[in-house]
Amino acid sequence: ARAFDNFQFVNFTEIMSKNKAQSLKETEFALSALMEIPQQYKATIELNLLGRRNGSIPERFPLPPPMRGESSSYNSPKPSSLPNFKPSVPPYPTESYTVRSSPAPPVTTSASDNQLCPICLSNPKDMAFGCGHQTCCECGPDLQMCPICRA
């Protein structure tokens, strides 16, 4: 529970149920909400809540900004840049890997390939996730999240 729970809030339902133009109701609601801020701020000052830490929340350290010219999705902060950082697993190996000298053959997709479930590759797509990606009804119920975007 919070140390201070009795802020006054604006009655949205009361304002929106008035027989006025929508823009006037929105304006009245915004003004009423803004008028509450000074009272809430005064209460936080009186209770000495501003700038005080309650509880035992661990201190968080912000990550450094991404380096210019590099993709941020593949960069992670160096262990030495975080205070008291101890890796739980050894760092990822950085050996060089051989690259094929011949280019890979072009990937061809037909209209029928785009209609098949990306998991079993045999049933038609007939079930959609909230993100819009699709699978078949046989594979879909066993999944906790979208296999394509992990949402």
**10-68 per-position pLDDT tens digit:** 788 888 899 999 999 988 888 887 777 777 778 777 887 777 666 677 777 888 888 87
Q: How many CB atoms lie within 10 A of CB 140?
A: 19
Q: Which domain holds residue 143?
A: 112-151
Q: What percent of the chain has pLDDT over 70?
A: 60
| Burial letters 116-135, b for 16+ CB under 10 A, else e | bbebeeebebebebeeeebb
Reading the block at residue 5, the tokens are: 């729970």
Residue 2 domain-assigned (yes or no): yes
What value does the mean pLDDT of the chain take? 71
Query: Which whole number is the average pLDDT over 117-122?
Result: 86
Of 14, 34, 51, the last residue of a domain is: 51
pLDDT in the model for residue 19: 94
Residue 19 domain-assigned (yes or no): yes
Number of domains, the chain: 2
Residue 20 domain-assigned (yes or no): yes
How far apart (Å, rounded) are the C-alpha atoms in residues 113 and 123?
A: 10
Residue 99 domain-assigned (yes or no): no
* pLDDT exceeds cutoff 70 at 136: yes
